Amino acid sequence: MPAVILPRTGTPGYGRSVTSPETPELDQLLTTAAGAADPAGGFGYLDEHGRRTPGKVPETWIGARMTHVFGLAAAWGRPGAAELAEHGRRALTGLLHDDEHGGWGSDAHATGPKQAYVHAFVVLAGATLSRVGRPGGTELLHDALAVWDEHFWDDDAGAAVEEWDAAWTTCADYRGANANMHGVEAHLAAADALAALGDHDRAAQLRQRCVRTAERVVGEARARDWRLPEHFDATWTAQPEYNRDAPADPFRPYGVTVGHQFEWARLVAHLGTVVELPADLAEAPGALYRVAVERGESPDGHPGFVYTLDWDDRPVVPARMHWVMAEALAAAAVLGALTGDPRYGADHERWSALVELLVRDPRTGNWHHELMPDGQLGHTTWTGQPDAYHVAQALLLPRLPVTSSVAESVVRAVGQAVPRGTA
């Protein structure tokens, strides 16, 4: 497919400006997701029947993602969404926050290390709440960005470090593309929120960070014929054999992660709507998307995308993860809108039919989080249906103008009047 030519303004997608971008599928998903709200605070873990798992401690990354999703839904006036977004915000500023050391632990017990992955989603939640005008959103955004600036952003590397111990005393040597990818997503959303508040200098700074991080990670993929490495050491030297003995890890799998090829393709495309991309980065959305389809779709003869490939493009973990399909659909929607190339639309139509046939759970509206190649439910990496973030965005993006963040796109689509102020 050709390189993506990226316009500098919001571009109508498959959809159009609408009063509400909600669809029956999204309505059912959000209804199920609302059941994750834990009366004690935060959002719990939904099982395969869409029921909150009793006794499981609310996790910060799930809580932040759900807060982001319900913040988006509040922007178009979905009943109950504003209350659920506030429920999430209160947990992020209270139950899930580490008041002793600052920042956010992995769950409501503030256990485990301080991770860039988790903090990226807290930034995203704050950015979305701020952009859609929810009370307290801007304060959460500033607090989360302050932690990111102090502990995670490495300006010399142009990317984020991965992980600290709970007290911020020791930084791990590992560097990861996954956390940096979500850092780019969060920074794009934060820049949109801050620009809406009038802080254009800070917004420009955050967007340039995104350029630097994308150049580093995507540059590594370009050097390997667009096979994107996920794991690095402290000097940002790729570690291609990392986790070979634990290939199905949910956050650090061995090899090439097909879904991240789609996700990086989409995020670089979003970035290109607000900055002038270097020529080598401008070609990345089309190239990453193309190889994800050519190498990752049905390499074993079964429908759908495998989770991971080795460095010779052979399947490693053949399970079909829901989020990989969601990111494929999201990338097709965004790149199709930006390029006008009908092949993206054809992909989107084909994969949407597969979702209805195999992936979408009619009982919950969520998608089966893991399927085996033969279509049977899998549990190797994921159990249950704990998260609505990937699916919600995949359902929203085809109906929204393309901008640099989902929150910005929702606001423009529904014509939301967002209070302005000083950042």
What are the residue numbers of the active site? 260, 390
Angstrom distance (rounded) from CA 47 to CA 37 = 13
Q: Containing H/E element for 353?
A: helix 342-354
User: Tell me, what amino acid is at 323?
Assistant: W
Task: Pick the closest to residue 397 from 344, 354, 359, 350 (CA basis).
Answer: 344
Q: What is the DSSP string of 361-392?
A: -TTTSSB-SEE-TTS-B--SS--S----HHHH
Angstrom distance (rounded) from CA 263 to CA 269 = 10
197-206 contacts at long range (C-beta below 8 A, 24 or more positions apart): 197/130, 197/138, 197/420, 197/421, 197/422, 197/423, 198/420, 198/421, 198/422, 198/423, 199/422, 199/423, 202/423
Q: What is the DSSP string of 225-274?
A: TT----EE-TT--B-TTTTTTSTT-SSS-SSEEHHHHHHHHHHHHHHTTT
